[in-house]
Amino acid sequence: MTNFPYPPTNYQEDNRGQFHFSTRSGWMNDVNAPLYYRGVYHLYYQHAPNSLVWNTMHWGHATSTDLVHWQQRPIALDPAIHPGDLWSGGGVVDCGNESGLKNGDHDPILVYSGTNGVTIFYSLDGGDTFTAYDGGRKVVTPAGTSRDPKVFWDPVSQRWGMVLWSDAGGNGADFFSSTDLLSWTFASRYRADWLFECPNMIRMPLDGTYHWVLHDGGGRYLVGEWDGTSFRTDWSAPQKLNQTETFAGAGYYAGLNFSNLKGDRVVSMAWQGENYGSIWTGNASFPVDFKLRRTTDGVRVVSTPIAELASLRANTRTWTDVALDDKSARRLLSGVRVRTYELDATIDVRSARRFGFRLQTGPGDWYDREVAYDVRAQQLGGVPLRPKSGKIKLRILVDRGQLDVFGNDGEVYQSYNVNFDSLPGGDGLELFTEGAIRLESLTIHELASIWRPPGESTLETSLQGPWYAARGQWSDVAAGKQGKSPGDGFYLSTATGSDFTLDGDVRLVEGVAAALTFRATKDASQHYTVNVDAAANVVKLWRPGRDIATVPLQVERGRTYHFTVEATGPRIKVALDGKQVIDANDATSAAGQFGMNVYNGTAVVQDVTVSAR
């Protein structure tokens, strides 16, 4: 049984990120087991669904088809169901069934969690629900205090590796290896005082070969080699993935990359802990692509916003080849009013001392944040960044409660929680300079919200909607969309059709009838509806003013019934659980909207799909 303990929300609190993911309600912290499977990105995370502070850990769950728009899903790991401490960990898709756990169409998805010992949970339904492997037995128990297991695949040794943090003899990472993802053998230990919590291993290409990146929860990393049992590097000190103060609860912590991505793509997300509202605490960083690059300082991991961000762009403005001094720079953007946006600039700084952007400006020289480059010190926000051919590239993402800064195509990456002023008049933007600059290019894209109309978080449907309640009370429950109504209640998609095949599952929880609706008007004053009716014990196809067909059925409350409706012109055929029960004709409505219905009771509808005929 899954749990969906979330109240409705429109995600519009003043500092709620509009393109950074946050849990629908409750507390979130570390990113857990991000993975990709059959066209869907799964983001799990540390979660206390009924608290605004850290509390008993669950694994929250959200999904996306584009890494940008996210839907809240039911709880994935729940301490009322799953044994052990459900703390941070990683996950993999077992595409080769090396675990032997496969039972059905889906490849097993395995996630690893637990403190002072590793517990495995596996999913056979594509990552929605999980079962404890071997009753929750710990498959690995390192010495000392340990947590945060992350599993990775090594194509050279053809073995799985596991890395987790342990303080046995001081901070460090313990490595284990396996061929079946279930039985693990100790391989080696990498000792480092700086390496604390949430370790991760990533295989990344550079110059025709591959290297391994080992990083910890604070984003400190080394580039080295993995021989199937141990990690080695000639680096004497770590670099940082995110050049800010990185600690638990800061604007960047506990990042992990998505497993099972195609090719060599590495996409990472982290926890940002300094943002909160009245029903939620914490958010995820915007996804970035990691790549290895040779720089003047050596090999480095560079970070850039994922290309999918472009799907949010609107109202783009561009300036090119403009010479500016202090006064003309301040005038340049005086008419710009933006709240959530992306800024991309290339600036020749050879005649300047300092320049930058002041964000969310208002009357009286007010601004919420300044992003500045010191030309003499060659620093962006206090972090070294050398000009290239006298130019600096800046890319800035501004959200309601988040700020991401990228310098020179990701050589600098800084993410912050910033409570940007939401008061009227605080939506300006200013370019400033000390000395002359040449603006080679500047582009500003306003960014739309990722939050679709609330309400489809648990309804699996091929209809894009949006959906809305025509009558009755409708809410999300773990099993789908639930409707309650003393009379007829309708929940409709704005999608329409004339000739089609409609499939869906209906379950009458209590009361009289649960149904699918089609060819409806927007207010459901006209429609066709096929239901299971527990008062009359029938399957019925009806429209306002006429019962078109009824078939006897001993209707069971609490049972799920699957309807298939084939509509071609006036002919309507209905199958129940795969058996045709109705074949009728009615020419009243030739086309209209799809939806669902409840009558005098409570019903749940799920898996609504439509295909054209």
Query: What is the 8-class DSSP label of residue 388?
Result: B
User: Among the options 14, 30, 154, 427, which is catalytic?
Assistant: 30
Q: Using CA atoms, how far apart are residues 461 and 71, in angstroms rounded to an integer? A: 13
Amino acid at 421: D
DSSP string, 526-569: S-EEEEEETTTTEEEEEETTEEEEEEE----TT-EEEEEEEEET
DSSP 467: E
Is residue 465 helix, strand or coil?
Answer: coil
- Both tokens of 269, joined, read 């997300």
Map residue 43 onto helix, strand or coil: strand
Amino acid letter at 416? Answer: Y
The owner of tokens 């050589």 is 411
**Cis-peptide, bond into residue 466, ω within 30° of zero:** yes
Closest C-alpha among 486, 588, 483, 505 to residue 542: 588
309 by DSSP, 3-state: which? helix
Which residue, 264, 270, 265, is CA-closest to 287? 270
Find, among 371, 366, 426, the residue nearest to 393 by Cα.
Answer: 371
Q: Closest Cα to residue 76, out of 25, 39, 122, 30?
A: 122
**CA-CA distance, 572 to 516, in Å (whole number)?**
13
8-state DSSP, 264: T
Residue 496's CB is within 10 A of a number of other CB atoms, namely 17
Catalytic residue flag (residue 586): no
CA dist 456 and 469 (Å) reads: 12
Give the SS3 label for residue 448. coil
The C-alpha atoms of residue 429 and residue 401 are separated, in whole angstroms, by 16
Tell me the β-bridge partners of 416: 403
d(CA 149, CA 32): 10
Q: How is 323-337 classified by DSSP, letter by letter?
A: EE-HHHHHHHTTT-B
Q: If you count them, how many residues does the chain have? A: 613
Torsion angle of alpha carbons 531, 536, 541, 543, nearest 10°? Answer: -100
Q: Which amino acid is at 124?
A: L
**Based on the number of CB atoms within 10 Å of its own CB, is 134 exposed (0-12), middle (13-18) or buried (19 or more)?**
exposed
The sign of the dihedral angle between the CA atoms of 125, 504, 554, 525 is: positive
Count CA atoms within 13 Å of residue 158 on its CB side.
Answer: 2
Q: Catalytic positions, please?
A: 30
